[in-house]
Structure 1
């Protein structure tokens, strides 16, 4: 199996691309940089974790990805409140990030369970 086959990687990559396109014309470069970096961090850490040999390393990078999802959710909330993100778009992104967080949580839990069995 390759990381590109993971549903969580595919969905987080699609969200990242959508966010880059959404903020393409944004002139608030600080906000744009922060939110796109958070979005990019999610699939990047999923991929890096998948490519790691040890389960501990894999779990650590997937935990980083889950943390980046939390950071991204916060930025979506703020972006919506300052009207950089339309309410319906923010709702869709928040729903997707919630699902990504749950998926990553399940993956991390599975690794912890495997490590405890060793």
Structure 2
């Protein structure tokens, strides 16, 4: 399998998957009760958007140390998102299958993030 040339953060698989996760979170929260708009809906959306945004911002930094720091921030947002999703599941804002699907996707993004962090730390 050949190496893919990375010319932009948009070429990073982790950024692409984080964007897909954010989109899925937006679609899911559209069905949440309207009274949750400023509660769980906005919390989930904010955390989900923060993940690809921090990956992109870190990519744009001048040195590897700053890049890694932004990837750790993205990882923190990912854990925050997972917590919000678990709460949404507990209070039955949507069905278990929907949340489980988002959690599986989230874990996948987490693995990709960790792999990128490790690769950068070992350079």
> After TM superposition, is the score higher than 0.5?
yes
Question: Over the residues paired in the alignment, what is the CA RMSD in angstroms?
Answer: 1.1
Q: Contact conserved, 1:3 with 1:47, CA < 8 A, in 2?
A: yes
Moved over 3 A (4+): none
Give 1:1-118 correspondences, 5 Å limit. 1-26=7-32, 27=34, 28=36, 29-114=38-123
TM-score (norm 2): 0.87
Aligned length: 114
Give structure 1 stretches of 5+ with no counterpart. none
Q: Contact conserved, 1:77 with 1:90, CA < 8 A, in 2?
A: yes
TM-score (norm 1): 0.91
Larger fraction in helix: 1
Q: CA deviation at 1:11?
A: 1.1
In 2: Cα distance, 1:5 partner to 1:84 partner: 34
In 2: Cα distance, 1:35 partner to 1:21 partner: 11
